[in-house]
């Protein structure tokens, strides 16, 4: 399982989602001009990467179930 490229990709995608989420929370907590300009962009990036991560997880589970 750990040597499967799709599993590694899904793991990296999940970590990317976590990184973007933490970055967004940090900028929200700090506030200021940067947050006002970029909050929606950060949220859109997180949603896009999260979509890719979910697709990778579903694909991995589907392929594992097929054998």
Q: What is the pLDDT along the chain (67 residues), one digit of tens a residue?
A: 788 999 999 999 999 999 999 999 999 999 999 999 999 999 999 999 999 999 999 999 999 999 7
pLDDT value of position 12: 97
Q: How far is it, in rounded angstroms, from Cα 56 to Cα 15? A: 13
Per-residue confidence (pLDDT) for residue 67, from 0 to 100: 78
What pLDDT is recorded for position 1? 76
Closest CA to 35 of 49, 15, 47, 43: 43
């Amino acid at each position: 399982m750990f040597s499967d490229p799709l599993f590694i990709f899904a793991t990296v995608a999940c970590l990317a989602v976590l990184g973007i989420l933490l970055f967004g929370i940090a900028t929200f907590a700090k506030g200021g001009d940067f947050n006002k300009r970029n909050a929606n962009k950060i949220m859109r990036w997180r949603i896009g990467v999260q979509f890719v991560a979910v697709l990778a997880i579903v694909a991995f589970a589907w392929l594992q179930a097929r054998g």
